[in-house]
């Protein structure tokens, strides 16, 4: 039987090493490539031709969600299983919308993770059941794409003037977007809105 070829994308070398060691213990799985950033994923996939990519969410170089979108566009035959520390319902929804076939958290037992790889490879969808229920309850992000962009930029702590220059908007427009975001998230202030949106997985 030909082993399922697996690539790992995670910015923490220790995590990648542990995942590789666990998966290589399975006789029908073979780790063929590793990436430490979202930017590196496509290069690793092109070089190693995996069947399944285990993708972290929060990585430098665009992150796992963005990398999943690009991977799905260029290599639709490669399945993506998101494996993340951050079990947030919003991340789940965004990952599935980006083209991921599965979403599990990193404390998933080794045997269950290996089984998730097999199921995703077989064309099935694998989603942590508790997260799936939370995702349905939470619903879609109430923020528009532009509001999300402004809030993501604002998470750096930049001033309104700096945000306006970076985003090529007027200061008044930035203030209006931030005010709308604070209202929609029922936040106390901008920092609270960032926290709420991050916890929900909307950023």
Q: What is the pLDDT of residues 144-194, one digit of tens each?
A: 889 999 999 998 889 999 999 999 999 999 999 999 999 888 888 999 899
* pLDDT surpassing 70 at residue 131: no
Q: Which of 38-47, 85-94, 127-136 has the lowest mean pLDDT?
A: 127-136
Distances (CA, A) of 135 to 1, 86, 95, 185, 201: 37, 13, 12, 16, 10
Residue 198's Cβ-side half-sphere holds a number of Cα atoms within 13 Å equal to 14
Answer whether 103's CB lies under 8 Å from 82's CB: yes
**C-alpha 32 chain-centroid distance:** 21
Quote the tokens at residue 64. Answer: 């796992």
Dist CA 23 CA 12 (whole Å): 17
Q: What is the pLDDT of residues 47-71, one digit of tens each?
A: 999 999 999 998 988 889 999 999 9
The domains found in the chain, sorted by start residue, are: 4-137 (3.40.50.2300), 145-200 (1.10.10.10)
Dist CA 83 CA 102 (whole Å): 8
């Amino acid at each position: 039987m030909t082993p399922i070829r697996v690539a790992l994308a995670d910015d923490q070398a220790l995590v990648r090493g542990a995942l590789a060691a666990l998966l290589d213990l399975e006789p029908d799985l073979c780790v063929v490539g590793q990436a430490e950033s979202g930017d590196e994923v496509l290069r690793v996939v092109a070089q190693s031709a995996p069947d399944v990519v285990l993708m972290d969410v929060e990585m430098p170089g665009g992150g796992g969600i963005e990398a999943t979108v690009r991977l799905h566009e260029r290599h639709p035959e490669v399945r993506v299983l998101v494996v993340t520390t951050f079990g947030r319902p919003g991340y789940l929804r965004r990952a599935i919308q980006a083209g991921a076939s599965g979403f599990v958290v990193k404390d998933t037992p080794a045997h269950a993770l290996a089984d998730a790889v097999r199921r995703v490879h077989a064309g099935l969808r694998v989603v942590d059941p508790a997260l799936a229920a939370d995702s349905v309850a939470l619903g879609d992000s109430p923020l528009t794409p532009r509001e999300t962009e402004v809030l993501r930029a604002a998470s750096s702590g930049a001033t309104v003037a700096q945000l306006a220059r970076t985003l090529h908007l007027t200061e008044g427009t930035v203030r209006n977007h931030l005010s709308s975001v604070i209202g929609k998230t029922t936040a106390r202030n901008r920092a609270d809105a960032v926290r709420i949106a991050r916890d929900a997985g909307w950023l």
